[in-house]
Each structure stands twice: as C-alpha cells, then as structure tokens.
A and B are shown apart, each in its own frame.
Chain A
Amino acid sequence: MAEIYLDNNATTRVDPAVFEEMRPYFCELYGNPSSMHTFGGQVGGRLAEARERVAALLGCEPVEILFTSCGTEGDSTAMRSALEAQPEKRHLITTKVEHPAVLNLANHLVKKGYHLTLLGVDAEGMIDLDELRSSLRDDTALVSLMYANNETGTIFPIQAAAELVKSRGIPFHTDAVQAAGKLPLDLRTLPVDYLVLSGHKLHAPKGVGALFVRRRTPFRPFLIGGHQERGRRGGTENVPGIIALGKACELAGAHLAEENTRVRALRDRLEQGLLAAIPDARLNGHPTERLPNTSSLAFKFVEGEAILLLLDQKGICASSGSACTSGSLEPSHVLRAMGVPFTYAHGSIRFSLSRFTTEAEVDAVVAELPRIIERLRAISPFREDDAPTAVCTC
C-alpha cells in the first residue's frame, strides 16, 4: 500500500540530498572535531560550514548559532538562560497554546516560585497584543511566544510582539520549530533574543537542532561540560546531524518560495475539497495567518482516533487533537484554549504537507475521507435531530 504522509508537523522525511551529505560522517570521516589530529580536526571545517548555512536561513551571524539535540533542548536552554541571567526577576509570560516543551517548563518554573502569565487566544488561535502589553511587568524576566502553532498553523504577530517586548527591555524567546523552513525569517529585522529550530521538522534527521542567541544577550549554558560550542553547550558534537541540518537549511531556503506557492496551493486544494465534500466540518485556526502546509479540520459528531485508524487503513498518515489519540481524556490544550466546541474538538484532524507532497496524494485524501466520516457518522448516536440524553454531568 502506497503511503500518503501528511503528518509533516510531527516529523519529516530526510531529504535524500541531506542524507547523502551526512553519510560519510558515520563510517569514513568519523573523527571528533575536538581531536588534535588532522583526521578529527578536518571535520571542524564542515561544522563551521553547517553553522553558516543555518545562519543564512535565519539572517543572522554564524557565531549566534548553537547546535542542540532538538527543539526541546533549545527551548529549555533559552528560557533557563534568560531566567538565570536575571535572578531578581520572577515573572514569565507565554501562551496557553505553546508546545509542551515551553508550556510544561513554564509550569515547572511556577513550582520553583516564578509567577506565570498565560496569554489566551481567540477562536482562530490568535493572541491579543493588548493582552500582552498589559501583562508586561517590571519584574518580567522573559516573554516566550511560539512563531506558529504546531496544531493549527496559526502564525503569531511575532514582529509586533517582539518590538513591544523589547521596547520594555525584556528578553524575548520564540519557538520557531514549525516556522523555520516554511516561512521567511530574517533576524536582521526581527528583534528576538532567542529563536529555536529543530532539524527533523525541515527534512534533516531527528536528534539535531539549533538555537539562535543574539549577540550580547546574557547567556548561561544548560549543558555544562567541555569547550564545545565555545563553552555554551558541552558534549561532543553530533557531526552527521549538524552537517545534515546545514544542508537541510540550505535546501529549505531554496524551497521557501515553493513552500509558499505550490505547497500552499496543495494545502488549499485539500482543505477546500474536504470542506466542500463533508457537511458539518470546520477549520481550526486562522484562515489566512497560517503556515502554508497546515490544515486542521474538525468534523462534528465523530471522534478523531477512529478517523485516524480508518485513514491508516488507506495508508494515509495524519494526526489528531482528539483526546483518545494521546491517551489524554480531553481534547488538546490548543483546541480547548481556542474554545472549539466539544461537538467538533473530539473530531479534529491535522494534515500537514511538505514539498514532497503530490497532487495525487491530496486528491486521494479528498476521495477517501468523506467516506470515512460518513461511515463513522452512521455508527454515531449523535444527530442534529436525534441527540441522546446521555447520562453525563460533564
């Protein structure tokens, strides 16, 4: 069965060109860049080249890039560093819809005595800059806002938010794991202090990421050890991963226009096709300010995990914000924060495309999903005209 992979916000296929670039660094050029011999030392030059490629994608200086193991490490490093550098400030601002890498750390910091403000979002998943403005305090140590949401694709107004926060002299961190490689980012004009990306979201392998730290931003290492990364991140470098990330960033820059034209058009074709074919369906997220590859749709009176299982039978990979998918008992924190009604929230499916997605794949989903929804609605007790008087006080 041919696989139709529309779960690229979860992880992406490693681009074959990326794989070829990293391949020699496993069995042939396997030296440690910290070694004194030429065999190891020659690898150091390739790490510098990878750093330049990542910096080129982001519009920053190579020296401002730290290599990490993943997005979570980048977020933890940035947030803990900002707080540690200002021990007198005990207030943190983030949003209710962040990735757990930020949200769970923020909640953990509350237990350590920090005050936390969680900004809400509207029905389209958008923050309110006025709420951000009124939340800023003299003792605010950090504002952390994701660039784009992983579930809905809604893009936050990071430029305006960062300008507002920086005007008060407060450090600003953005988790750009979903945005990097999909949206043009230019740190020459975007006044953030910390920005995080992850390799496996842009066709590099898992286990590598990058953290941008603006020059002259106070920094405290999270991994304290050797001299690697100029003493800012101890641990032997993941050489093949870093080289892969450099190549992936170079390719992402080259494909940025395609991402925002061809991939966006495919996403729209999928979304419009499904919304036209399936009654009682709606979009989760912002209609226009949204990642070009992401479409989160909700289907009334059916449950997301059941939809995913039937899609899986057809070789179609997607994901869901429903409760049952995750083992949680409630729909995703993102959908709840947006106020998506329960009638829809439990039946939410996220499709996320990539530059490897084809028109034929999209058309196959548009052909299959309406039948799947119809099949599950035929089993469901819920109808507009025939809702059960179920015994449940929730």
Chain B
Amino acid sequence: MWDYTDKVKDHFLNPRNVGKIDDADAVGEVGSLACGDALRLFLKVENERIVDARFQTFGCGSAIASSSALTEMVKGKTLDEALLVTNRDIAEFLGGLPKEKMHCSVMGREALEAAINNYRGIETTQHELEGEVVCECFGVTDAQIRRAVEENDLKSVEDVTHYTKAGGGCERCLPDIERLLAEVRGAREARPAPAAAAPRKLTNLQRIQLVQKVIDEEIRPSLQADGGDLELVDVDGTTVYVSLRGTCTHCPSSQLTLKGGVEARLKEIVDPELQVVEVQ
C-alpha cells in the first residue's frame, strides 16, 4: 500500500473539476493506455486568463489526485503564470507524492503545457517529441529527461525512472539515461551557485492579496471537501484574522488545523512572521 498523504487521498476520493468542457479553448493530452496513465486537460481562457479547468484521467490514485490538484492550481492564473507551475509544485500542493509516483506530477505539468501550446497554436507533437527518443518503451526523449533532471535535481537513474518512466520497461536505455544524467549534473555543478535571493518584502496590499489567494486556492477547497470552511476576516500587519465555518466550528481539531495547517502554509508562502488568530 502506498503511503499517500491525506491531501492525495482527498483529491483521489473527491476529485475536483472532473469532466470535459464542451467549448474548451484549449485541450492538452498526454500519456496513453499502453503507458498505464493518460490525462486530458480542458481549459477555458478569457483574456489570457484560465477561468475554468477540467480533466479526464486514466490512471492510479496519484494520477487522478495530481490532475485534480493541477486544475485547482491553474484556475485564475494567466497562461504565463500557469506555465510557471512545475511538477514539484503539483506534488507539493498534494503534500508530497511517493517517489515512484512523481511521474504523475510530471504528466500534469506536460498536459498543462500541451494545453497552452494548443491554445497558442503550437503543434504539441513537435513540442512533446522535441529531441531524440531515448526510452522506446515509454517514448521518452532526451529533452524530457534533461528537463526532469534539471528541474528536480535528480541524482540517479532510478530517480529519472520515477519522474519520467524512462528505463522502466526493457531497461536497454539505462546506459543512455546514465550518460544524460552525468551530462546535466556536470553542467549544473559547473555553474556558480546563485546568490541567495533576498527575501521578498511585501507591501501591505501585496500581503493581503497573497493571503487571500492562498486561502481561496489551497486552504478552503480542502476544508470544504470535509464540510468545513474558513473566511478571511482581516489582516493587520503580520496577524491574520480568520473565522471558521461549517463543520470546522465544532471540530475538536480546529486549533490544529489553524496552527498546523493554515498558519504553517501562510508562513511558508507569504511571510514567516505571520500569525493566524481565530475570531468568532
């Protein structure tokens, strides 16, 4: 039995945004029956902003959860903002995935790119199969492997298989994967380490907007899935005032949710100084 986080289980058991958009402005498809998982992503776009996202997925629990998470993450984003979503973001949104299932998050990111390419009139097949096929079993190119290594700091052939599926079939391509891994890692290690980015200094307005965004996009959907909810009441400097709603009001674990869940996430994304306070 895989050790899935509660959030993965929630998005698998209660997937958000399932189905087609009949008049979709963009469709992205990756995977196949033979590969064992496939994702078809539908986007509705207005003024370069994603106003709706839906999905159809054939695959395991992680694949369905990753697809559901992806649709939640991209709704409301501009296309350029959505293109910044990485497979790591999808996995982190879910509280992590087993390493063997990271390819499900990669499938999400690839479907998103395919959909945006489709919207922008870029031929997906050309984009997807850029480079030379290294893994014949799963149709993975050297470009895909290089990118996965680069973006996820992969260190072993096994990691590459977990993230891209390359090498997971007949294994004839393992020496090629090893070579690509050495090339990319060699190039990475030769680069001077980037200077540590200065911490972002948010204006009050930016802080309020970001708090609202995290609550709306991440926190409320997971609480609503269990019949609860949370409302942002006010933000005063680094103190965030919230009010619990629905089943959360009587929940014995509500303080744990506020401190361990809501506050921890806001500290991580918005400002490490933030404190969450409940008001009635």
Of B2, B30, B36, B114, the contact of A303 (CB 8 Å cutoff):
B36
Q: Does A180 belong to the interface (CB within 8 Å)?
A: no
A379 and B36 contacting across the interface, CB-CB below 8 Å: no
Per-residue contact bits, chain A 375-394, to B (CB 8 Å; 1 contact, 0 not): 00011111000001111111
The answer to whether A305 and B31 touch across the interface, beta carbons within 8 angstroms, is no
**Which residues from chain B contact A322 at a C-beta distance below 8 Å?**
36, 60
B36 touches A302 (CB 8 A): no
The answer to whether the Cβ of A91 comes within 8 Å of any Cβ in the partner chain is: no
A-contact bits for B137-178, CB 8 A (1 contact / 0 none): 111000000000000000000000100010011000000000
- Does A342 sit within 8 A of B, measured CB to CB? yes
Q: B10-18, B196-204, B214-222: which one contacts chain A?
A: B10-18
Report if B71 contacts A (CB, 8 A): no
* A167 CB contacts on chain B under 8 angstroms: none
A324 and B57 CA atoms in complex are apart in Å by 14
A309 with B15, Cβ < 8 A, contacts A322-B36, A388-B40 known: no
Does B234 interact with chain A (Cβ within 8 Å)?
no
B128 at interface (Cβ–Cβ under 8 A)? yes
Name the A residues within 8 Å of B13 (CB-CB).
Answer: 310, 313
Which residues of B in the span 100-116 have a Cβ within 8 Å of any Cβ on A? 100-101, 103, 114
B34 adjacent to chain A (CB < 8 Å): yes
Q: Report if A346 contacts B (CB, 8 A).
A: yes
| Pick from A329, A381, A393: contact of B36, CB under 8 Å | A329
User: When A392-B30, A392-B34 are in contact, do A381 and B40 touch as well, CB less than 8 Å?
Assistant: yes
Q: Are B34 and A328 in contact (CB under 8 A)?
A: no
Shortest distance from the beta carbon of B168 to any chain A beta carbon, whole Å: 3
Q: Which residue of A lies closest to B101 (CB)?
A: A324
With a cutoff of 8 Å between Cβ atoms, the chain A residues found around residue B122 in the complex are: none
Across the interface, name the chain B residue whose C-beta is closest to A326: B100
From residue B127, how far is it (CB to closest CB) to chain A in Å?
A: 9
Q: Which of A312, A328, A391 contacts B128 (CB 8 A)?
A: A391
Whether the pair A391, B137 counts as a contact (CB closer than 8 A) is: no
Residue of B nearest to A313 (CB): B13
A355 to chain B, nearest CB (A): 26
Tell me the complex Cα distance, A325–B165, Å.
15
Instruction: Please tell me which one of the listed residues B101, B114, B133, B168 contacts residue A328 in the complex, with CB atoms under 8 A apart.
Output: B168
Q: How many residues of B contact A (CB 8 A)?
A: 44
> Which residues of chain B have C-beta atoms less than 8 A from A306's C-beta?
12, 59-61, 63-64
Q: Is B205 positioned at the interface, with any CB of A under 8 Å from its CB?
A: no
**Contact flags B88-109 to A (C-beta < 8 A → 1, else 0):** 0000000000001101000000
Whether B60 pairs with A305 at a CB distance below 8 angstroms is: yes
B37 — which chain A residues lie within 8 A by C-beta? Answer: 303, 324
**In the complex, what distance in Å separates the CA atom of A305 from the CA atom of B37?**
11
- Residues 17-61 of chain B, each 1 if its beta carbon lies under 8 Å from chain A, else 0: 010000000000111111111111000000000000000111111
Beta-carbon contacts under 8 Å, A315-370 to B: 322-325, 327-331, 342-343, 346
**Interface membership of chain B positions 58-86, coded 1 if the CB is closer than 8 angstroms to chain A and 0 otherwise:** 11111110000000000000000000000
A342 touches B114 (CB 8 A): no
Closest chain A CB from B167 CB (angstroms): 9
Q: Is the CB of A394 within 8 A of B12?
A: no
Q: How far is the CB of B7 from chain A (nearest CB, A)?
A: 15
CA distance A378 to B139 in the complex (A): 27
Say yes or no: A390-B29 contact (C-beta < 8 A), given A309-B61, A329-B168: yes
Distance to closest chain A CB from B126 (angstroms): 10
Chain B residue numbers with a CB within 8 Å of A379 are 15, 18, 56-58, 64
- Residue contact A380 to B30, C-beta cutoff 8 Å: no
Q: B125 contacts the other chain (Cβ, under 8 Å)?
A: yes
Across the interface, A390 reaches (CB within 8 A) one of B15, B38, B136, B165, namely B38
User: Is B212's CB within 8 Å of the partner chain A?
Assistant: no
Asked if A212 CB lies within 8 Å of chain B CBs, one says no
Inter-chain contact A330/B40, CB cutoff 8 Å:
no
A301, CB-defined interface residue at 8 Å: yes
**B64: chain A residues within 8 A (beta carbon):** 306, 379
Closest to A393 in B: B139
B127 closest partner in A (C-beta): A391
List B contacts of A301 (CB < 8 A).
Answer: 33, 58
Cα distance A305–B36 when bound, in Å? Answer: 11
**B residues less than 8 Å from A393 (CB atoms):** 129, 133, 136, 139
A391 CA to B103 CA in the complex, in Å? 15
Judge whether A391 and B57 touch: CB under 8 Å. Answer: no
Known: A324-B60, A380-B58, A391-B125. A329 touches B169 (CB 8 A): yes
- Chain B residues with Cβ under 8 A from A302's Cβ? 58
Report the minimal beta-carbon distance from B169 to chain A, rounded to whole angstroms.
6
Whether B100 contacts A330 by the Cβ 8 Å rule is no
Closest to B61 in A: A309
The complex places the Cα of A337 from the Cα of B261 at a distance, in Å, of 48
Residues of A bordering B, CB below 8 Å: 301-306, 309-310, 312-313, 322-325, 327-331, 342-343, 346, 378-382, 388-394
Known pairs A306-B64, A342-B36, A392-B138; list 13 more (Cβ under 8 Å). Answer: A310-B13, A329-B103, A330-B137, A330-B168, A346-B36, A379-B15, A380-B57, A381-B38, A382-B33, A390-B33, A390-B38, A391-B29, A394-B32
Please give me the 8 A-B residue pairs with the lowest Cβ-Cβ distance, nearest first.
Answer: A393-B139, A329-B168, A324-B60, A381-B56, A392-B32, A305-B60, A381-B40, A390-B32
